[in-house]
Amino acid sequence: MSDTQTLTLTEIEDLAFRALVAAGTSEENARPLAVATAATEADGVASHGLAYIPIYCEHVQCGKVDGKAVPILTQPRAGVIAANAATGFAHPAIDIGFEALIPRARELGVAALAIRNSYNCGVLGYHTARLARAGLLGIGFTNAPASIAPSGGSKPVVGTNPFSIAAPGTDGEPAVLIDQSASTIAKSEVMKHAREGRPIPVDWALDAEGNPTTDPNVGLKGSMAPSGGYKGVGVALMVEMMAAAMTGATLGIDASPFSGAVGGPPKTGQFFLAIDPAATSGGDFAARMTDLVAAIHDQEGAHLPGDGRAAKRLQARAHAVGVNVATLDRIAAILET
């Protein structure tokens, strides 16, 4: 018996939407999260796709996230949009924030969106790619509960804290999409291995004493291994400054976990910069990006950040997506309650 079942992207979105609503999420909040879930599955990032829906539902039910929250938007400066997610999902706050951010960036050349009192925003590159599709250079930061220890230490002080940058392409899709965390691997991948009872590679996580481990459960009680050693710690600190300090969100050292039912809302943050290339490049942006991309693609075997996701996206649209049956069973149980 196969451990996967094939679903279309429409079916994935509908399943995620119905499960979120069944758990107590408003339809207005469930829809953008369901759309993002389908897009994430299409890109081949299964750890952040349907596998996260039971976690989201649990967090709505235990009060870690307010499924019926209504984000509050303000504009403290001409080029600054601020969104208070009101301890709800990040996706609705990002949606209404982008509605204001995109025209501001086109008008002013550059604009910022600061989001606080938020939650896990899923795949950060999904959001920056939307800015690129609007013709803007999108830069994003999001912080997370502490899971990376500082250089020379063993106690986590910053999260896996990804950053992303997406450059607009001539075909309406991002020409380049960089989306990487400060850790060797996203923490959700370690959590996925723990759920499935599988060991992790030795360079993914550290135990409580700072030693490498292949046991995902030990790693989850210790710390994530920073990518590139002290350089990864530096990236995590940069993101913490942008997504938490700059937005008024909760620092990772004070945020409740994105996993389990312990603790209240994490109240983490996101920060986005949207830049109109026409305002800064003298009109040469598209040509320069074309040359840059070609210099990489012209090399046999070379690829750009985002190429893999783009290829999987096209395949998913044509042939649907294989989804883990155990995940579908967990979602079915939510719908049956």
Looking at the domain 70-175+232-295, which fold is it?
Ribosomal Protein S8; Chain: A, domain 1 (3.30.1370)
User: Right CATH number for 1-62+307-337 from 3.30.300.30, 1.10.8.80, 1.10.1530.10, 2.40.160.10?
Assistant: 1.10.1530.10
Q: Report whether 132 contacts 169 (CB < 8 A).
A: yes
Beta carbons within 8 Å of 333's beta carbon, 6+ residues apart: none
41, 147, 164, 189: the active-site residue:
189
Give me the count of residues in the chain: 337
What is the secondary structure of 165-176 as a DSSP string? EEEE-TTSSEEE
pLDDT, one tens digit for every residue, the chain (337 residues): 578 899 999 999 999 999 999 999 999 999 999 999 999 999 999 888 999 999 999 999 999 999 999 999 999 999 999 999 999 999 999 999 999 999 999 999 999 999 999 999 999 999 999 999 999 999 999 999 999 999 888 899 999 999 999 999 999 999 999 999 999 888 878 988 898 899 999 989 999 888 899 999 999 988 999 998 999 999 999 999 999 999 999 999 999 999 889 999 999 999 999 999 999 999 999 999 999 999 999 999 999 999 999 999 989 888 889 998 999 999 999 999 7
**227-255 confidence digits (pLDDT tens):** 989 999 999 999 999 999 999 999 999 99
Beta carbons within 8 Å of 165's beta carbon, 6+ residues apart: 128, 137, 138, 139, 140, 176, 177, 178
Provide the Cα torsion 240, 246, 252, 258; round to 10°.
-100
User: Domain spans of the chain?
Assistant: 1-62+307-337, 70-175+232-295
C-alpha to C-alpha distance for 320 and 11, rounded to whole angstroms: 9
Tokens 């990032």 — which residue? 45
**What whole-number percentage of the chain has pLDDT above 90?**
84
Beta carbons within 8 Å of 21's beta carbon, 6+ residues apart: 27, 30
Q: Is 99 in the active site? A: no
Q: Is 189 in the active site? A: yes
**Among 74, 81, 91, CA closest to 26:** 91
13, 41, 48, 147: the active-site residue:
48
pTM for the predicted model, two decimal places: 0.94
Q: Is 47 in the active site? A: yes
13, 41, 47, 164: the active-site residue:
47
